[in-house]
A = this chain, B = another copy of it.
Amino acid sequence: MPVLGVDIGGTKTIVAVADNGGCILAQAKISTPREQGPAAVLSEIESTLKRLVEEAGIEPGEIQGLGIGCGGPLDRDRGVILTAPNLPGWDNLPLAEYFETAFHVPAYLDNDVNLAALGEARKGAGVGVDHFAYFNIGTGIGGGIIIDGRLYRGCGNAGEFGHQTILPDGPECLCGRRGCLESLASGTSIARRAREQLSDYPESLVLRYAGDADTITAEYVFKAALDGDLLARRIWKETAEYLGLGIANVVNILNPRRVILGGGVVKAGDLLLDEVRRTVKERAMAQLARDVEIVPGVLGDQAGILGAIYLALGRD
């Protein structure tokens, strides 16, 4: 009995067909045509999935269910996106209903980062780990919590690690509050802080690589840091310290065995991880800091789609 998975991102969407053991039989990555609005995006996802089903030689009647990951906040019980910061116009969108109608199977919706945590739990860096916290550090910062091997959701939206307050009077966050971890350590924040500090480092490689202050991204800052640029190194050190503070708070609260880091920013590897680990050791209670291993995820972009598949299989 195969299942379908959909992982909707602000720029890319992954869809897949999998068997009932969670092995992917066919998969496609498409650009999310978000500027065309939700109807166009959903129609594109539907037709791509139908093509995959056909290519995999599966009869539509065999499909058991469908799992969807998307940015939140969302109403999981009703399968509705409340608002999606990365997808303008996706307000009160009944996503599960759309796919139930399209494929005549039950469809389940959850937060994309929760599902990435679930993916890592079943096939990645969380296999065999009873309780862990998963941080996704990309454009924004999201989180997922696994307890007793299952997704912990609280009232439905647990794991907003990116919106804990790190500096009460810090920079404004997209969420409207101040000094959230996301406003200090996301990819967006790395680029913003580099731009802000550029005047102190007029010779910075960051500017040379990006060409223009407006086109600075976290990737350019990372590349410049690898090449020894002072501004870039300073920004990465700050980023790692803020991240370490946020992780230490989660460690003090949850005392997890492992913290798994995913998302684009983690591609910086040891440049980030060594400093993060140092800060966690400094900021978390000694015993709790000893209990936890801080490791990168192993599934990369596949974590979310695998989680969507396990959600469809009821193994969340």
Q: Which residues of A pack against B, CB within 8 Å?
A: 73, 82, 131, 143, 145, 147, 152-161, 163-168, 175, 177, 245, 248-250, 252-257, 282-288, 291-292
Contacts and interface: CB of A to CB of B under 8 A. Distances in A.
Given A131-B154, A157-B288, 11 more contacts: A154-B291, A155-B255, A155-B288, A157-B291, A158-B255, A159-B253, A160-B288, A163-B284, A163-B285, A249-B249, A253-B253
Which one of A153, A154, A160, A282 has the highest number of Cβ atoms from chain B below 10 Å of its Cβ? A154
Contacts of A287: 73, 82, 156-157
Contact of A160 (B145, B175, B253): B253
Contact of A285 (B73, B167, B249, B253): B73
Given A161-B252, A249-B164, A288-B160, A257 B175 contact: no
A243 to B, nearest CB: 13
Nearest to A252: B160
A82 B145 CA distance: 28
Contacts of A285: 73, 157, 160, 163, 175
A168 B154 CA distance: 28
A248 B181 CA distance: 13
A163 B285 CA distance: 7
Given A245-B168, A288-B155, A177 B282 contact: yes
Nearest to A256: B154
A282 B286 CA distance: 31
16 contacts: A131-B155, A154-B257, A155-B256, A155-B288, A155-B291, A155-B292, A156-B255, A157-B285, A157-B288, A160-B255, A160-B285, A161-B252, A164-B248, A165-B248, A165-B283, A177-B282
Nearest to A248: B165
A158 B148 CA distance: 14
B283 A253 contact: no
A167 B167 CA distance: 7
A164 B288 contact: no
A163 B278 CA distance: 17
B254 A154 contact: yes
A281 to B, nearest CB: 11
A129 to B, nearest CB: 11
A283 B169 CA distance: 12
A137 to B, nearest CB: 16
Contact of A158 (B160, B253, B282, B283): B253
A154 B253 CA distance: 9
Nearest to A155: B291
Contacts of A284: 163
Contact of A164 (B152, B154, B252): B252
A70 to B, nearest CB: 15
Top 6 closest pairs, chain A to chain B, by CB? A154-B255, A158-B255, A155-B291, A160-B252, A164-B249, A73-B287
